[in-house]
């Protein structure tokens, strides 16, 4: 029988959950970092479409 401390260090049953958590954290960080760039692109697109509709109506 192995000592309890050695069994604790060799227990890897929660490794998959930890890896999924790290991947989720990295992806959410990348999404948050891209938000300002996407905001400007979407705002520009809405301005172009709004201008096109305004000029089409007059």
Please report whether residue 6 resides in a domain.
no
Indicate the pTM of the whole model: 0.51
Tens-place pLDDT, residues 26-58: 999 999 999 998 999 999 999 999 999 999 876
Query: Given this model, what pLDDT does residue 19 score?
Result: 86
Tell me if 38 is assigned to some domain.
yes
Residue 8 has what pLDDT? 63
Q: CA–CA separation, 21 vs 27, rounded Å? A: 10
Q: What's the pLDDT score for residue 24?
A: 94
Domain that holds residue 47: 34-58
User: Based on the structure, what is the number of domains in the chain?
Assistant: 1
Looking at residue 23, what is its pLDDT? 93
Q: Is residue 53 part of a domain?
A: yes
- Per-residue CA distances from 31 to 24, 26, 45, 46 (Å): 10, 9, 20, 21
Judge whether residue 10 has pLDDT over 90: no
Residues 10 and 38: their CA atoms lie apart, in Å, by 44
Identify the pLDDT of residue 5.
72
């Amino acid at each position: 029988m192995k000592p309890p401390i050695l069994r604790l260090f060799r227990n890897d049953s929660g490794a998959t959950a930890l890896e999924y958590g790290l991947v989720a954290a990295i992806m959410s960080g990348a999404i948050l970092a891209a938000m300002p760039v996407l905001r400007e692109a979407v705002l520009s697109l809405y301005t172009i479409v709004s201008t096109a509709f305004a000029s089409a109506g007059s």
